Structure 1
Amino acid sequence: MGRVLKLGRVLVLTGAVLGLVTPAAQARDDGARTSSTIKHVANIPKKGAFAASEAYSTDLAFQGRYAFQGNYHGFTVYDIKDPAKPAVVSRVSCPGGQNDVSVHGDLLFLSVDDPVKGDSCRAEPTSPAFRSAWEGIRIFDISDKSRPKYIKSVRTDCGSHTNTLVPDKTGKAVYLYVSSYGPQNDFPHCKPPHDSISIVKVPLDRPTAAKVVAKPVLFPEGGNEKQETLLAPTSGCHDITVFARRNLAAGACMGDGVLMDISDRERPKVTARVTDDNFAFWHSATFNAAGDKVVFTDELGGGLGAACTQAVGPQRGADAIYTVEGGRLVKQAYFKIPRHQSAGENCVAHNGSLIPAKGRDIMVQAWYQGGVSVVDFTDATKPQEIAYFDRGPLSPRDFGGAWSAYYYNGHIYSSDIQKGLDVLRITDPRTDSAAGKRLKVLNPQTQ
């Protein structure tokens, strides 16, 4: 979700672990339209402190038999050994937007991009104009999935809107590429120019020693600041996806889309850069399996607007598919869901990931109230939707829909902002080859 402007250090050992809840998983279609190849097999609704409409469900990560779902009020751990019967293992109350989540081994990382009075899970919101305001990364020990423990915080400039987990080359540490934006002169921890990211290094044998080790400037000349159609000028990045084994990264940086060389994990270098007059907010990026294509998303309206109406059209608030040719990004086509949504439904391109189908480039993607879409972009010039799950509009009107949708070990998992966790199954000859593939971990921004 895009946020243009920001509104508005005592280490604690544990977040508040809420009472365990294991409701029966049921499919809640709510008037959904679906393709014939998609089956909605389960839903776990938000509960307790997470049930409030402002407790938005956000991003997902996966490890073994577990799924981890961020929420503006904390995060939830699910047992998904049986995808048709997911069960809540724990809910941890630790408010902070967006609480995007990544996992590695016994560690879980949360991004906090709302200023609070200190880093405690009980800290009250405050203004970023105060020097004591805290934003950044929270680190939890998840060795006991039923009782995660909050063990460390790291302040980062302008907070942490998203984080991308990057393995180092020795296996002794992981890096977090922290994307953030929205500088103002009166913000002591977020002053302009902010054309950089923060890099946090986490030693795996001593995670409490995690710290910021670099703040590389990606746009020394200031980035795209003059395009009139932008939601906001470039001032950092919104999200970064890394293709670690090829030492590549793709950055969605507000007004710019970039390729980076991350051979030196602490010194990423921009090697290619593109802008697009149709794009309002470069939001996220996904490589294909070969690393020679990138799908960038445009979050027109910051996720709050109805960008999937007939009046907006097929090119704004869409994906843009690029090929990587000689180190350059070459645009091939736009893709946008073909189903027009109502003027009351927030809808725009959002988070997705690859389905590991043999010989094809297929991704599943969330579109807020536009639902979940499966797109074949094997022919980069002619992307096409091959499956979808699209709930009816929320009533009363509210911000909602699918925040993220990812394929993991045979099923699609969707984090629905208001409805909780959805599990879908796709049966299609083009994706069937992915059904037997098994991953040990999936952080979707780490390909």
Structure 2
Amino acid sequence: MPRLSRLLPCLLFLAGLLPLSASAQTAALTSPSSSGAGGFGHALAMSGDVLFAGEARSIHAPGRVLVYRWTGDAWEQHAELTAAEAEVGDGFGEALAVDGDRLVVGASSSNAAYVFDREGETWTQTARLTPPDEAVAGPKKRAFATSVAVDGSTVAVNVTDPPFTFDPGKGAVVVFEEGRDGWSPGEVVAPAERVDGDGFGDAIGLQKDELFVSAPSANGNAGHVLRFVRTDDGWQETETFTGMNGQFGTALHLDGDELLIGVPGAMNRVGAVQIARRSQDTWALQDTLTAGDESQNGRFGQSLARTNNFTWVGAPGTEKNTGAVYRFPREGGRSAERLVHPASTPGDRLGGALVGHGDRIVAAQPGQNYGARMTGSSSITAFNASTNTWSDTPISAPSRDIFTAVTGEKTTCSGGKASLFDCKEVDLLSFLPVDAISDTPGVRVNDVWGWTDPETDRDYAVVGRVNGTSFVDVTDPMRPVYVGELPMTEGTEAKIWRDVKVYENHAFIVADNVGKHGMQIFDLTQLRDVAEEEQPKTFEATTIYDGVHSAHNVFINEDTGFAYVVGSNGGGQTCGGGLHMVDVREPTKPSFAGCYTDVGTGMTGTGTTHDTQCVVYRGPDERYQGNEICFASNETAVSIADVTDKSNPKNLSRAEHPRSAYIHQGWLTEDQRYLFVNDELDEMSGITDRTRTMVWDVSRLDDPQLVTEFFLSVPASDHNLYIRGNTMYQANYSSGLRVVDVSDPTKPREIGYFDTLPFGKDAPVFEGAFSNYPFFESGIVVVTSMQEGLFILKKADPEM
């Protein structure tokens, strides 16, 4: 997976790595709030003593909205709402707005907004609103209903860019009116001067005949807010508000004659809130609220709410994303009181969403449990302004456990299925869900490698997690055993990227964007001595190489005993993000050996390497036989280098393709004549509508030639591929493991697959199979699937 901070910072919600940028607010006392990522509580709304919390982005179940009722001393679940035509991945619950007995639910993955009306104690779906063709027409992909607003019989819904777009388009708002004959087709409201990528519609305020729409990315992320009024000729633009630079309008809260405008990027992301007030029919910015403590990266103003006596402001970035909520007296108060939940920890992002009514305020913690948007294990928490206390018990969504371990016997792929999973010519030997190899809610897995103990011949899968590494004995592949874990380096943060390789009975582990992690080195022979009653045992690193702090990846040339740490950042000798070469011939005494950086490659031109394979060259180019050659995937090109002399590495060539988006990773055929390369983002960016692998002839290392592009039948993004013999094994996110015959490298042919993500479509998204390891002598293939767990697979035996 690419470090998107180099590419698209606004899209980092998948990993919870940066503060979220969209917050949908509406009019009235019951303004909803959204933190944008779709896990439980990322969207909130409140009507009197009823609280709504969306859980839109489970990839294993349809989206839902949980309804809670205030009992006088606690919030108790009252109902669960889903779309009438609910399906996995529908996004239902991504945005919420409520006005009295009417609730509007956004579901951008379904391109729909749903209207629910209350009769008695029951909420019933009464309408499904979809955008008129003119709102989504054009060559660029559009998403509908990431932000919604409601005022009586009027509903406003935005049209914006879908997640991970590489070609942002023009935003709009569609206003629907309910009449005697039902709902109108919708009037498209847009600014007079429409600009691609300005975020128009990210937040909406609606009240009677006034509509306020923000464009927080306008003018280089300075942002502005536009006001529209309803006339006999439709909605007319009347004025534009500009204020402090820094995503002005990320959040809106419209309350009578006052409009609160969140500016979380102001003052170097310290953040601010500006207040516009109405005098007759004229609005003007009149006041500014700040946190007072100027917490850097606090993003004060990310979310907004009002209660009887207070204005509330969320600052989810404070204290290393622990988050905080600030309250100001409504009448003339600029002095803030900072409220921090006593149980919040770094990464929880308290205040990522807010909603209030009366004396009650509810705050989301969208980053809790590693931003567990897939598992529902994040929570929301309530504060009672009258008693000045936080609730003792967080508000959580009921569990929807989908997966249980599959062990004990082989599940044959038959009729295109093995248990829940689609397959072809690949059998399921066993499966351990994430919670079977980690005891922390919300954990996801990432990389995987393997180790065979030379003394006992036992096989182990070394499984990366967001918060550490798990060791699983797979010697009996139908009865895997979770032996133990190595936690992440103390003082670092849990993030989605962890990478591991094995050399001389030691695991070498790096993690990206996490702080001073270093390269953990762990003596795997310790696994021999773990008694059954100790399992899973928690270990400590044998040693830590501190020449780098964070890094994206590591590769080890087992023939030479050199490790290549790539994508280094955050401190130490980063080598410009290129190859940081380490002598690990004595694994517990690693030493820096040199740098190689191909300046001019990489998204920023600094030579950043995402992944690499380094070999003692035995290929057809006789000039370099016996030399150590690296094939570095450098985001924009493959950089081929001779690193035999670590003090003087030499670039030999670049393999560049004019239609590439992100050169991610590659692997050589065993004769070292061909290099198979994946481009992780070409499917997402629209370069191709099917999974594509590029095949390069590298028989002349100074002149690589593209010989073919191999396409699968599905649009999933490709991630990590490895070749053993004449077979290539690709971990391709939402389409799982793909098995490809490469006996003729110029004519690859898919021969099997196992889809580790059993629900939803094979879309180009960062979900599903992350990596695989096909090099055990037994022929098993271990696959990590991010939210699902560890799969132990094997190609089906040929029929006799």
Above 0.5 in TM-score? Answer: yes
Q: 2:611 aligns with which of 224, 227, 239?
A: 239
Match of 1:215, SS?
A: strand
Q: What are the within-5 Å matches in structure 2 for residues 339-378 of structure 1?
A: 339-340=714-715, 347-356=716-725, 361-378=726-743
Hey, what's the Cα distance between the residues in 1 that align with 2:696 and 2:740? Answer: 15
> How far does residue 402 in structure 1 lie from its aligned partner after superposition?
0.7
Cα distance change, pair 235–50 in 1 and its aligned pair in 2 (3 A) = farther
**2:434–2:443: 8 Å Cα contact kept in structure 1?**
no
Stretch of structure 1 that moved more, 376-385 or 261-270: 261-270
**Contact 1:113 1:160 survives alignment (8 Å):** yes
Q: Which amino acid aligns with 1:401?
A: G
Question: Does the alignment pair 1:329 with 2:707?
Answer: no
- How far does residue 99 in structure 1 lie from its aligned partner after superposition? 2.3
- Equivalent residues in 2 for 1:13-412 (5 A)? 25=407, 31-35=420-424, 37-47=425-435, 49=438, 52-64=441-453, 65-94=459-488, 95=494, 97-116=496-515, 134-145=516-527, 146=530, 148-157=539-548, 159-167=550-558, 169=560, 174-180=561-567, 194=576, 196-204=578-586, 207-216=587-596, 218-219=597-598, 222-224=599-601, 233=605, 235-244=607-616, 246=618, 247-264=628-645, 267-300=648-681, 307=684, 312-314=688-690, 318-327=692-701, 328-340=703-715, 347-356=716-725, 361-390=726-755, 391-393=757-759, 399-407=766-774, 408-409=776-777, 410-412=779-781
Alignment check: 8 A CA contact 1:194 1:235 kept = yes
After TM superposition, the score normalised by the length of structure 2 is 0.42
**SS of 1:68's equivalent?**
strand
Structure 1 residues 155 and 318, CA, compared in 2 at 3 Å: closer, same or farther? farther
Sequence identity (%): 22
**Counterparts of 1:258 and 1:50, CA distance in 2:** 41
**What CA distance in whole angstroms lies between the structure 2 residues aligned with 1:272 and 1:78?**
40
Deviation for aligned residue 1:394? 5.7
Q: Residues 137 and 427 of structure 1: is their aligned pair in 2 closer, same or farther, counting only changes over 3 Å?
A: same
Kept after mapping to 2: 8 A contact 1:298/1:349: yes
Normalization by structure 1: what TM-score?
0.72
Structure 1 residues 23 and 299 mapped into 2: Cα distance closer, same or farther (>3 Å)?
Answer: closer
Residue aligned with 2:541, SS: strand
Which residue identity is paired with 1:242? Answer: C
Using the TM superposition, give the Cα deviation of residue 320 of structure 1 relative to its aligned residue in structure 2, in angstroms: 0.4
**1:13 is matched with which residue?**
none
Quickly say closer, same or farther: Cα 1:236–1:399, change in 2 above 3 A: closer
The offset of 1:141, in angstroms, is 2.2
Paired residue secondary structure (1:242)? strand
Cα pair distance change 1:403/1:423, threshold 3 Å: same
Pair 1:289–1:393, CA change in 2 (3 A): same
Measured after TM superposition, the shift of residue 389 of structure 1 is 1.1
Closer/same/farther in 2, CA of residues 158 and 76 from structure 1, 3 Å limit: closer
Q: Which has the higher contact order (CA 8 A, sep 6+)?
A: 1
Q: How much has 1:253 moved relative to structure 2?
A: 0.7
Distance 1:399 1:196 in 2: 24
Using the alignment, how far apart are the partners of 2:557 and 2:758 within structure 1? 38
User: Does structure 2 conserve the Cα–Cα contact (< 8 Å) formed by 1:41 and 1:424?
Assistant: yes
Measured after TM superposition, the shift of residue 291 of structure 1 is 0.5
* Rounded Cα–Cα distance in structure 1 between residues aligned with 2:548 and 2:431: 37
Instruction: Tell me by how many angstroms 1:202 deviates.
Output: 2.5
Q: Matched residues in 1 for 2:617 and 2:496: separation?
A: 31
> Is the CA contact 2:594–2:646 (under 8 Å) kept in the aligned structure 1?
no
Aligned to 2:52: none
> C-alpha displacement at 1:89, in angstroms?
1.2
- Letter of the 1:420 partner, please give it: G
How many Å separate the matches in 2 of 1:180 and 1:160? Answer: 5
Counterpart for residue 2 of structure 2: 2
Partner AA of 1:279 in structure 2? S
Query: For the structure 1 residues 234 and 29, does the alpha-carbon distance in structure 2 shift closer, same or farther, using more than 3 Å as the test?
Result: farther
CA gap of 1:56–1:383, structure 2 versus 1, over 3 A, is: same
Structure 1 residue 243: Cα displacement: 2.2
Give distance in 2, aligned partners of 1:24 and 1:99: 26
Structure 1, unaligned runs of 5 or more: 9-21, 117-133, 341-346, 433-447
Q: Which runs of 5+ in 2 are unaligned?
A: 7-16, 19-403, 412-416, 454-458, 489-493, 531-536, 619-627
Deviation at 1:51, TM superposition (A): 5.5
Q: Distance in 2 between matches of 1:195 and 1:111?
A: 14
> 2: CA distance between counterparts of 1:331 and 1:137?
35
On the 8 A contact 2:595/2:646 being kept in 1, the answer is no
CA distance in 1 between counterparts of 2:549 and 2:637 reads: 19
1:405 partner amino acid: N
Task: State yes or no: 1:425 paired with 2:775.
Answer: no
Q: 1:268 to 1:333 in 2, by over 3 A?
A: same
For 1:194, what is the secondary structure of its paired residue?
Answer: helix
Following superposition, the deviation at residue 339 of structure 1 comes to: 2.7
Which amino acid is the alignment partner of residue 664 of structure 2? Answer: H
RMSD: 3.3
Per-residue CA deviation, residues 199-231 of structure 1 (Å, 9 max, x unaligned), is 122252xx4432323123x32xx3236xxxx6x
Larger Rg: 2
Q: CA deviation at 1:114?
A: 2.1
1:121 corresponding residue in structure 2: none
Q: Which structure 1 residue ranges, 4+ long, deviate > 6 Å from structure 2?
A: none
Distance 1:282 1:52 in 2: 33
Deviations 1:67-100 (A, max 9, x none): 2111111111111111122211112332455221
Contact 2:523 2:542 in 1 (8 A): yes
Deviation at 1:196, TM superposition (A): 3.0
- Asked if the contact 2:643/2:649 (under 8 Å) is kept, the reply is yes
In 1, Cα distance between the equivalents of 2:429 and 2:580?
40
Q: Which amino acid aligns with 2:677?
A: F
